[in-house]
Structure 1
Amino acid sequence: MGSFILRAVYARKPSHVNLAPGKLVGADWLNALEDVGGRLVPEARDFLLSQLPPLPEKGVPGVRWLADLLEDFVDRESDGAQDDRFVEGAGAFLGLLLIDHLGGRTQEREGCHRVQLGQFGWFDPFGAIQEALDAEDPRKCLSEYLSIAEREAKSKGPVSRVVRVFLEELSQARPDLSITSQFELTVDLDNGASVDLTRLERVARDQDDDSATEAARRIISMLPGAEATEATPWSEAAPRLLPRLVSRQFVGSLPAEQDLYLHAIGHDVLLALQLRYGERARYLRCAEVDGWAAERHTIEQRSIHNLAAKSRALRLEPVGDGILHARQGDGLDGARLLLPDLAARLERLSPGDWFAAAPHRDVLLLGRQPALPELAKRAQDAAMRAPHPVSASVFLITPQGPRPLHR
Structure 2
Amino acid sequence: MEPHLRAKGKHFYAIGLSYKKADAELRGHFSITDEAKVNILDEAKDEGIDSLILISTCNRTELYGFAEHPFQLIKLLCEHTHGTVEEFEKVSYIYKNSIAVSHLFRVGTGLDSQILGDFEIISQIKNGFKQSKEKEMVNPFTERLVNAVIQASKRIKNETEISSGATSVSFAAVQYILARVPYVSDKNLLLFGTGKIGRNTCENLIKHTKNDHITLINRTKNKAEKIAGKFNLVVKDYANIQSEIKKSDVLIVATGAQKPTISKQLIHSDEPLLILDLSIPRNVALDVKELPNVTLVHLDDLSKMTDRTLKRRKSQIPKAEQIIEEIKEEFDAWLTTRKFAPTIKALKNKLTVLKDAEIDLQRKKIVGFNEQHADIISDRIIQKITNQFAHHLRNENASADESIEFIQKVFQLQNK
Same fold (TM over 0.5): no
Structure with the greater relative contact order (CA < 8 A, sep ≥ 6): 1 or 2?
2
TM-score between both structures, scaled by the size of structure 1: 0.26
Q: Which has the higher helix share?
A: 2
TM-score between both structures, scaled by the size of structure 2: 0.25
